[in-house]
Structure 1
Amino acid sequence: MGLIERLFTIVFGGGRNVVKDTAEVFRENAEAGAERAADHKAEVVAQYGAEFAAPARGGFDRFMDGLNRVPRPAMALGTLGLFVAAMVEPVWFAERMQGIALVPEPLWWLLGAIVSFYFGARHQVKGQDFQRSIAATMARAPVVVENLRALGALRAGSPGAADAGRDAALSLAVIKPEANPALEDWRHSRG
C-alpha cells in the first residue's frame, strides 16, 4: 500500500490537487469563474450607483430640468396638431400658414440657430427647404378648398346628391329592387 499511497500523495497530496491545477491551465475553473463574474458585476453596479446617484438639489434645479424636457415633445405634438388642423380646418390652417410666410428670413435664421442649439446643426440647412415646401403647399391651398367643396356636394345629405338627372337608365336602375335570396326564403317559409 505504501507505493500506491505515495503515488496518490504525489498526485493529490500536500493539500494540492495536481490534476486539478494542471487542468485549470487549459480550462477555467467554472466555480472560480462564476465568483469572479459575480464580483465584477457587483463592482459595476456599485460604480453605476455612485455615478448616477442624484445629489441633493433644490427646487430651481428640478424646475429647470423639467423645463428642458418640454421643447422636443412640444414640437412633436405641435407638428401632429398641425396635421390634424390641416385636415379638419384647411382654410384656417392656410390662413395661419400665410402668416408664417410673412416671417422675415433673419427671424427664420434666428429660430434655426435656437432650434439647432437644442436639436442639432442640421436644422439650419434644412430650414430653407422647409420654408420653400410650405410655400409650395400654400400655393395648392385654393385647389384643396375647391376639392373639399366638390366632395361636400357629393355627400348623401346634400340636396340633389342622388339625383340621376336626365339619365333614364340610371333612374330605372335605382328604383329596380335587387334580388335578395334570404328575403325570398323567408317569404316562402311564411306563405
Structure 2
Amino acid sequence: MPSRRALLRTCGVGVTLGVAGCLGSGGDSSGETTATTRTTTESTSETTTDRTPTTAVPPTAEAVEPAAIGERGVPRSPTIESNTYDPFRGVVVGERPETPGGHYETPHVWVWNLTGDPTTIAVEVATGGARLHRAETEFPAGAPLAVVFYARRAYDVTVRIGGREKAVTVEPNRFWCNATGTDVQIRPDAIKSGTVSTSAACTTTPGGS
C-alpha cells in the first residue's frame, strides 16, 4: 500500500469514470484509426482549466525501469482486479525539480492490461500537439505501465488496442498539493478511465511555489 495511507484515511477521494467502446475504421498519417473517444477527468476539488504551458519548449520523455517510478500517492481505482501495484515499465516526462515547492505532487497515468492475457498496447504521450513519446509493447496480463509528469503542462495520453482507442488529459492544475492518479483500464470489450484524487487542505495555490 502507498506510504501515504495514513493521510488518505483523513482525505476525501474523488473518482470519475468513462468508457470508450469499439471505434470505426479509418486511418491517420501513421496508419492508425482517427476516431477518438476523448475523456477529460477532473478532480472534484480542482476547478482550474488553464491549459497554458509554463515552458515554451516541450519537455523530454524517456522510458525508465519500474524502480524509477515514485509512488502515486493515491489508491488505484477500485474496479481494478490485479494482484500488483508495480508497473512493468515506466515513462517519465520532464525533469524532477530539486525544489518543487510546498506539497508539490506529480500526476500519474497508469495504463492497465485487464484483458486476462498478454496484450500488445500502444501508448502515446503528447503536449500541445507535439508527440513526446510513443511505445507499442506487450503488456503482461494484469500489469500496468506508469507515466509520471514533472513539467507542469497540459498532456494527452492516448491508448490504442486493435480498433479501439482512448485519450485522457492531464491538466496543469493537477500539479498541486493534491495527489492524483488516472487509471486507464483496457478490458476485453472496452477501455475505461478514472481519476482518483486526494482532497487535503492545501497550503499553496495552483501554480504557486
Normalised-by-shorter TM-score class? under 0.3
Q: Tell me which of the two structures has the higher relative contact order, counting C-alpha pairs closer than 8 angstroms and 6 or more residues apart.
A: 2
Provide the TM-score with structure 2 as the length reference: 0.19
From the two aligned structures, give the one with the greater strand fraction: 2
Larger Rg belongs to: 1
Provide the TM-score with structure 1 as the length reference: 0.20
